[in-house]
Amino acid sequence: MNPKKTSKAKVRTNKIRKDDLVYVIAGKAKGKTGRVISVLPEKNRVVVEKLMMVKRHLKPSQQQQQGGIIEKEGTIHISNVMVKCGKCNNPTRVGFIRLENGEKARVCKKCKELIV
Ligand SMILES: [Zn+2]
């Protein structure tokens, strides 16, 4: 194994996962907290429940006779959110440690507890 190659190969991180509580640090929803309902890793964006609501206009179609306007969650760039630690209750940066069984786990940089 070439250490130079492996260190560069992995660009994608999974600091934020579905069902995490996140705190928004920038943008329209700044200062709000919400639960992640989906992660778009290829876009580095997340969808947070009830935050960044955007209006979508629907055209009447075969399935949907009425058409109209629906409200839907928009996406937030992951650099604009921080994971909220369930232990110390602070928005925090996420670190990684390797567990005894070889698995990688996330830890809170503030209180050093595991984020599950
Ligand atoms: Zn913590």
Q: Which of 74, 71, 94, 72 is nearest to 22 (CA)?
A: 94
Element (H, E) at 9: helix 3-9
pLDDT per position as a tens digit, 32-74: 999 999 999 999 999 999 998 999 888 888 776 778 898 999 9
Lookup: tokens for 58? 């629907």
Reply yes or no on whether the pLDDT at 3 is more than 70.
Answer: no
* Distance in Å, CA 85 to ligand 1 centroid: 5
Query: Could you tell me the distance, in angstroms and rounded to a whole number, from the CA of residue 18 to the centre of ligand 1?
Result: 18
In whole angstroms, give the CA distance from residue 15 to residue 105.
Answer: 10
Q: pLDDT value at position 2?
A: 53
92 Cα: distance to centroid of ligand 1 (angstroms): 7
pLDDT, position 1: 55
* Per-residue pLDDT tens digits for 68-110: 898 999 999 999 999 999 999 999 999 999 999 999 999 999 9
pLDDT above 50 for 10: no
CA of 67 to the centre of ligand 1 (A): 45
What domains are defined for the chain?
13-85 (2.30.30.30)
At which residue do the structure tokens 């996140």 appear?
22
Residue 66 C-beta-side C-alpha neighbours within 13 Å: 3
